[in-house]
Structure 1
């Protein structure tokens, strides 16, 4: 037999699979709802099939189904509108409603496919309760699918959930766009796999057994991928293009262009060699970090200057092997480069397990030597028959047998997240599918002393934790129940962690507890990925709602909900007594400041810290063990990139620059200036503090206060429109004219190089036109926000606003010769501005008596990105795109503008589920008390590729000062050290 091929996890920036470029995509059929309704024998309890507006949702076959952007906003930034439209036209079938199946179903339903049909012919058993979060003891003996449907149907009103409890037939499965099997027999998988492959229906099978997981994908012989990685297309500024065969493109900039061999690119804004502008996508060959080859440019015009080269995502075709063939010659995707031979053994062991179950009518008993011997014998026989592996890892097969009866929530969470992402790939064609097998094990979660586990301690005992006891034993379960953990954040990762904690029984015994804190309330955009919340929970506190939800999942759970932030202001709450009682902390927040703070607190109190985060399909986990591993602050890149001020003010070259500028304009005009006015009006010592500032800063502040209270204070809605029109003129016409007055288009530097070159785009002023939608968008938004500042009524009547704005007379532009425009931040810092001392003193005199203005306390406007009727994003989109037009920068739609200006972190439930599962695996090790650094793993994953890296954490640096100590020692100064390290 041929040896298996092995595909390593792809690097985050790769050329992708070897594929054939396409220009069209095949259509997909849809499952008619009416046909589903006719299956009365097998379907029941149809989910809410009406949209939130009360209208029945129509099936669509042309991918034009409407997407609820308010609900799916964070996910849309990961998948995009095209992929979402395909998803909402896809019917998904999932067989097996144990812990893994319900994880997959939960993630798929939250993601927003057209419908989900769940299938299971079995009933709820004690072992199911350890990971199936919708089962309770009252459900024992009931059909798994029927119990699950009631809860799954509540997750997303747009996704009907159907139940099927009969034998599967080809005619029934032919109606689905994706078929997923979990916990199926080998015979069933082979039959359905053959059928789906023959019909080009994407087929997925996933299984977890204790600490092991298996995933297989077959998307047919002609599957089309529209975007292999989901990253924003790369672009670079062009420095030069040669005339030749091939032509050589040299890029400008301090960083590598980022392209790889085989990428396709297009060109724009090139002067001279204009034939390349708008030319069809060209395949490139990379020569180095700043250059690459294109096709023959010999007969093109000579390149002069400028231009942008941009990556084009080309559709590609991938061919999959069916399950029957792939079992014999598998392509295995590596998740751990040291475990290739182990994965080969697991490929045989999972097949042998099917033979064992067929023979014994049950899984191997936990820690049973005879069952392990039999499974090993079956595995050897398979290997002998196929010559699959030269050296079978027999110890691994025995461990597989010992734990295969187990069912662990964290393992199901991880593989359920990965599998669900593969389902979404099958529905949408977005991202690179798994090719084709993935194996995973977490044997390092077992105790370092294997003698702690015996057949007796792991025996099943009709407990809700039987699936976990089968792997770790009853003593460990008691230890888990007595743990005290602090969970910071009840958002996406926080919800998944709390669910896992409830399932494993963390803090669920006498003396144990979980404390969760989150100061935020639930918003509608949370519902697509924070699965503990429902629409009826909107505006409720996240921590309290999440705590109530996991109590329903496990009534034994001892969870307390707080509403506090973490920081110096709450150290009277989270004080010495609080931390000293904890066993560990799990941080599930999305800002670096809170993470850094909790890292320092855990160092000080010598507590385990579990840290994690996601960004779209990417995720990471980090475990910080006192005295053993490096800390979050020393191991993480916590810097945040900021654009140079001069770039934003005068020389933008990307839409990111103009959006940041627009966001700064919003904050300055409608919040900061109002805040300053109110400080002046309400703080009697304000002017005294102004006297202590530098004259230039003092003059700027006083000018702002005077203009907002006197010269530019509106008395009517018409005044607000007039202000907005004049401000438009200043920003998009006068300021650009002034810049060109100082740096004309033909300006050269002292070395004779054009000033407007490379990343300096030469701007042009705009001429106001009230019939231009973008121009009027700015006036409407700016005038309404200005009116809000002054508590004046605004208006949305665009026709009326247009009539008023056309009557406004603006002053002609007069260039100012004394204005200094800086070309670098360094130059700006060194510049000392001349101050008009007479004007400064006059303003101090005018503003000396604040009481005359007390009636004009202003309303600062606080930016809120998710409210579509408050004019905030209206202003930012219009301001950014107008400035982009000034500089010839491609504009951004509202969706992209909100992502960048709102600093939104793209999120999807699949990644969150996988990351939370990995976090809990590290928790197992900490509860065992693992002392070996090699036991622990930090993880990095990208489900889009798919790409997985599991690495040993860095060791805590040891410093000598008489004794050896680490960061954790240095943070603890109240008495003797609790643990010592021997000098090397």
Structure 2
């Protein structure tokens, strides 16, 4: 029996033939990416490009099944493309790309135009929004996907026919007052933030101003001059300790640091009576008390197993031991000269051990529950545990919904997606009883979405010759002729830089090539100040040629819409769908969620968007 027999039965001959000749791109080769690439290869896609900028780490191996220990530190995209060859029965052409998908030199707009479908398996908001905009500029269908623990989702995006990734505003990530973090912590997350963003940063990271050492922010939060003076003194003393890292033995360095941070600083805080009028006072750490047992632990290498005891809470002595071992490793790295600084990374054991142990010691001082290394990693790395099964389920739905596109969209060259829009759904999975899988019909773009509802967009192509012969006034005249603007009623920006409006016309005689910001991948924003026509975004595509390539996209600008104040989300199977900062909140009919569990940001490859409650 031929290898494609069952695929033809499931997909149909016509759909299968389209898939066999399709060229698609998958962005992200992590947890979802490994599963999704397997599915795409076995579905029979003719050519699959894989993009990822990361290398493989030890922590990836528990769920990214195409990687092995021998692959650590290798490129994900290159490794994953080789790994699937063992079951590439239909001979898909795999093309790996190691790089940042937002790099316009490596991935110019023409590169995107070769694909008939984009599959996203990304892990961060910025890259997702970028690919979303690329899909809108190129009018390519995009499959969004993500998981958080047992929850996950796919969202097919058909540019200008369904909601895009940015149709719903994202919440601003929660932050904590500097003074709470540095003077009066009351929760484990306060101590973790202090250890990661302040202590580690001040000692080992690049010498730049930390957000937790911002004098203006501190002044805006407290008028207690004693507290302000204390915070300044703390930072200055930490700078002195940092200067000792390269020329001091680890035992001396750690003793001085422990004594200063957990004894001297705390004793100084206790003198600020106002801070403790309504709070439980901290207890300074008696460092000398633990030195004999500490020396005993350090004398036996077998005790290094403590560092790997990820799932239990360490005692104060064990935390001091782990802090010592992490400082020893970090000092060694800095003294080698190979690194001038060390940045925190949840997958860097040395940095994670330092943050875990120092955070726990601070928690003990402030009578706050300590955390296991495993639990702390979830908060410090803004992650939740990744579940391989959820990744596999979501990758399967993503692949299936992609195949539906080739089955129902009759003309793959057409950007009229009306024939597919009612034949595919967003899918949500969870472990909620009777709501394990929920399919929700695609909604049209949100009326108040600044990305695809109030703005048209396309690609502006020009040669280097055009830039050297076309003035800004020539460009504006072409815009007016093409789109029906009135010259006196438009303004033009590149990023935050205004380059033209009726009161700012000094650039009219300047050649386009001389105007700052006109470069490959930049966005020219044209706004009708009379509010008659919708906004226009032009993606700049410069071709190195002496011939004229000047071309504005064929777009008919629509009358400007009035943004709606409130957008009511669709419901399905008794579930209301509400977008949060980076994810989806599934609500019962009464508007309540299943629990108060807050999921922060997931590990690389997993979050649906970035922050959600389930």
Aligned pairs for 1:334-373 within 5 A: none
Q: Which residue of 1 aligns with 2:92?
A: 557
Which residue is equivalent to 1:737?
267
Distance 1:608 1:777, change over 3 A: same
Distance 1:734 1:708 in 2: 14
What are the equivalent positions in structure 2 for 1:670-709 lying under 5 Å apart?
A: 670-672=203-205, 707=240
Q: Which residue of 2 aligns with 1:947?
A: 436
TM-align CA RMSD: 3.6
Structure 1 unaligned residues grouped into runs of 5+: 1-125, 127-462, 677-695, 748-754, 793-855
CA contact (8 A) 1:612 1:620 kept: yes
- List per-residue Cα deviations over 1:548-603 (Å, max 9, x = no partner): 23333234202211111111xx2112112211222121111212221122112222
Residue 934 of structure 1 aligns to a residue whose secondary structure is coil
Q: What pairs with 1:89-488 in structure 2 (closer than 5 Å)?
A: 126=1, 463-488=2-27
* Contact residue 721 and residue 779 of structure 1 kept, 8 A: no
State the Cα deviation string for residues 634-659 of structure 1 (Å, max 9, x = none): 23636432233222112222212211
Residue 944 of structure 1 deviates from its aligned partner by 6.5
TM-superposed CA distance for 1:623, in Å, is 1.3
Distance 1:550 1:716, change over 3 A: closer
Residue 634 of structure 1 aligns to a residue whose secondary structure is: coil
Is 1:501 aligned to 2:40, yes or no?
yes
The equivalences for 1:523-542 within 5 A come to 523-542=57-76
1:892 aligns with 2:422: no
What are the within-5 Å matches in structure 2 for residues 547-946 of structure 1? 547-553=81-87, 554-567=89-102, 570-635=103-168, 637=170, 639-672=172-205, 707=240, 712=244, 715-717=247-249, 720-743=250-273, 747=277, 755-756=278-279, 761-768=280-287, 769-770=289-290, 771=293, 773-774=317-318, 776-777=320-321, 780-781=324-325, 783-784=327-328, 787-788=331-332, 791=335, 859-866=340-347, 868=349, 870=350, 872-927=351-406, 928-929=408-409, 931=418, 933-943=421-431, 945=433
Specify whether residues 701 and 595 from structure 1 end up closer, same or farther in structure 2 by C-alpha distance, changes over 3 A only. Answer: farther
Distance in 1 (CA, whole Å) between partners of 2:275 and 2:25 is 60
Q: Secondary structure at the match of 2:324?
A: helix
CA deviation string 1:318-372 (max 9, x = no partner): xxxxxxxxxxxxxxxxxxxxxxxxxxxxxxxxxxxxxxxxxxxxxxxxxxxxxxx
Write out per-residue CA displacement over residues 278-313 of structure 1, whole angstroms, 9 at most, x where no aligned residue: xxxxxxxxxxxxxxxxxxxxxxxxxxxxxxxxxxxx
Deviations 1:499-539 (Å, cap 9, x if unpaired)?
A: 11112212x2xxxx211012223333323322223344344
- Among 6, 27, 49, the alignment partner of 1:515 is 49
d(CA) in 2 for partners of 1:789, 1:550: 36
Answer whether contact 2:205 2:343 (CA < 8 A) is retained. Answer: no
Q: Relative contact order: is structure 1 or structure 2 higher (C-alpha 8 Å, sep ≥ 6)?
A: 2
Deviation for aligned residue 1:791: 1.2
Secondary structure class of the residue paired with 1:895: helix
1:490 to 12, 29, 33: 29
8 Å CA contact 1:488–1:518 kept in 2: the answer is yes
**Which residues of structure 2 form unaligned runs of 5+?**
210-228, 294-315, 410-416, 459-535, 540-550, 562-614
- Higher alpha-carbon deviation: 538-547 or 478-487: 538-547
1:916 to 1:885, Cα distance in 2 relative to 1, 3 A:
same
Residue number in structure 1 paired with 2:79: 545
Cα distance change of structure 1 residues 876 and 600 upon mapping to structure 2, 3 Å threshold: same
Q: TM-score, normalised by structure 1?
A: 0.38
Per the TM alignment, residue 619 of structure 1 is displaced from its structure 2 partner at its CA by 0.8
Q: CA deviation at 1:705?
A: 11
TM-score (norm 2): 0.60
Q: 1:714 to 1:594 in 2, by over 3 A?
A: closer
| Shift, 1:965, TM fit | 6.8
The structure whose Rg is larger is 1
- Matched with 1:87 is none
Give SS of 1:573's match. Answer: coil
Matched position secondary structure for 1:641: coil
**Kindly tell me: are residues 981 and 921 of structure 1, through their superposed partners in 2, closer, same or farther at Cα, counting changes over 3 Å?**
farther
After superposition, the Cα gap between the structure-2 partners of 1:617 and 1:674, relative to the gap in structure 1 and judged at 3 Å, is same
Measure the CA separation in 1 of the matches of 2:454 and 2:360. 55
- Looking at structure 2, the residues matched to 978 and 732 of structure 1 have their Cα atoms a distance apart, in angstroms, of 64
- Cα distance in 1 for residues equivalent to 2:381 and 2:94: 33
Deviation at 1:916, TM superposition (A): 0.8
Structure 2 CA distance for partners of 1:942 and 1:874, relative to 1, 3 Å:
same
Whether the 8 Å CA contact 1:488–1:589 is kept in 2: the answer is: yes
Secondary structure at the aligned position of 2:144 is classed as strand
Q: 1:982 to 1:936 in 2, by over 3 A?
A: farther
